[in-house]
Structure 1
Amino acid sequence: KESISVARQSKASGKRLNKLFDRSIRIGTRIRNSTGIGRGGISLGSMAVKLAEENVDDIKSKHVLLIGTGEAATMVAKSLKKRGYAFNVTSRTLERSTGFSQTLGGKPIKFEDVLSGFNNYEVIFVATTAPYFLVSFDRMKNGMKNKKSGTMILDLSNPRTVDEKVATIPGIKLMNIDQIAEMIDKNMKNRRGKISAVENIISEEVPIIEATMKRLDAEPLVKDVFTNADSLRIKELQKALQMLGESDKKRIKIIEDLTKAVVESIVSIPMNNLRKASEQGNPELLEIASKLFNYRKNE
């Protein structure tokens, strides 16, 4: 959508491409609205953030931490950024966290500060490849002693880097990658079940697009005929007004409106029929009309 907008502004796209994109965007909107195929996350990042939204009230007012800068962390960061959520990000080195944040958002913080400060966050996304429990039972138990609010932890690591015993600590809700993957699979199956409805809509829309594209074949000729007819109208109108010696502006407008109406009524019917013929795939009629109106296509 953004690409075609830029192309239009720079005049890099023509009438056909603009029409095709406009129609395609409308079809996509119709499909999403009528089938709901876009509902439910199917990426690890979007699903993790959605689960956090469902379990934590008003995330925008909460402290969010992302541990990791790999592929899974990237998906989470993109989803958080898209939703406008502020978050801290940490990795083994501050340099890596800083580079990550410059591209994907988030505030980089030292890894050491995180290990002793889990109690500062209400939502923690863990997406690392550490071969041990990064979020251990003892660390979280100590951190939750004086914490008034709860904490949701989403472990996206494989293998897991959050000790499952953490879930037994009061105030903590833990979800791991297997649980999240199961929900993603459920959403994917739900989307697959809607493919038939999507295909039906596409089957309805394709002939309309084809007719629209064929109709455009006639537009240069139609435009040329209307332009030439109007030029001739103006020329003959000026002659007539000079011969009549008419100077009254009100009368001139009446005469001009009359000539416009006459020309339009004469030209519109054959031009609309020409458009219909073009839609129905009748290039022969278009060729005959081009000769009849002495139209030469600009190469």
Structure 2
Amino acid sequence: MSVLVMGLSHRSAPVEALEDVALSRDGVAKLLDEVHVADHLSEAVVIATCNRLELYADAATFHGGVDEAGAMLSAHTGVPLELLTPYLYVHYEERAVSHLFHVVSGLDSMVVGESQILGQVRESFRLAQTSGTTGRVLGELFQTALRVGKRAHAETDIDAAGRSLVTVGLASVVPSVAPEGWAVGQVDGRSWRHLVEGCRALVVGAGSMSALAASTLAEAGADVVVGNRTPEHAERVAAAVGGTAVPMSEMPALIAEVDLLVTCTGAAGVVIPFELVEAAVARRGGRPLGILDLALPHDVDGAVAELPGVVLADLATLAQAQDADGGAVADHVADVRAIVVEEVDAFSAARRIAQVAPTVVALRTMADTVVEAELSRMQGRLPDLDDRTKAEVSATVRRVVDKLLHSPTVRVKELASQPGGADYEAALRELFALDRRSIDAVVKPDPRSGESGTDAGERT
């Protein structure tokens, strides 16, 4: 197994640095395309969200893969490698698998336990498949990872502990626009969702984060208006939540009217400038305006937070959010971590068994060749043997060979499933003088199903 991951996230870099490396879907596709001509990387999946940018790859060599991955991230984000390096982390082989399983389970998220990352990883994998940069190694890894993420949410209460970024963000701004008497952070025991009912909310953008915000607000009883540069996209999101789609040209007037503004467009620069919000505030008659900016880079000019009546929450402020029920969260996190450890061990064991399987097949193939040669020689020396005797001798020889090989081949698979199992595979090759070329020619089996695969060139 030669999985390599290089990236940066909210855990290793400030929001400002994450803004600098933000990649659009088109940018991710171009990064994936470069893998096709790489010397040390043969497969790749890129996870690009508001909180992380990670490149997963099948690396022929560790150092060569690290050098190429770093150069690719620098080139496609436009950030010099020397400025990027302090924020980068690298994981290899089993540590890379463990990291991905933590990510899909919500353990590495800004809001621990949030489930949106699972959908984002699934979409990242689909994009890589479309780009033709996934093969046997990352295909098995990401399919397993998605299953692990589902299992974590199905078998534990991590969902109760973890809230999506949208939910946390709304909880931070909704009280500011609630009816008179509700103070920010003091909702008298009532959920923020109760305060949304009857509010009018403008959602700018039509991506997954914006769609999640729109559906969350609609479910809580808000009147949702959706704006996007592509009218068809806005109409799709609005129709899904029973809201209204509007053109971007109506933005100035709507910001003066709505109670909440949620934006996540994925644009390269500021979409809602200070002057636009300042003019809207002047027309609001003192009514408060809650703004939730989930975009990376920012959609809203951060200076609007200084305007009277405006409460702004963005990724930087949400990163500081703390869950009040720390003890319960710790218990749920421990449950998920136990699942991750179990799944990493199982995946790694399966991969180790898959790596020794070609050697076992090569050994049995060599044995069959020897048996056939000896039976042919016997037939030449004893041409008068009748067919029944020949068949009995042939069956007896094959049974003897099978019995002699059974124990060592079964045992080497058992030992190979343990850490350091490659040593046993090497010993088997050495003891039986197996030609490495004969092993490499064996089609690799699927480590999960036990069936033969089709990629004879998979690296081990």
Q: Please, what TM-score do these two structures have when normalized by structure 1?
A: 0.49
| Structure with greater helix share of residues | 1
Higher relative contact order (CA closer than 8 Å, sequence separation 6+): 1
| Structure with greater strand share of residues | 2
Q: Please, what TM-score do these two structures have when normalized by structure 2?
A: 0.33
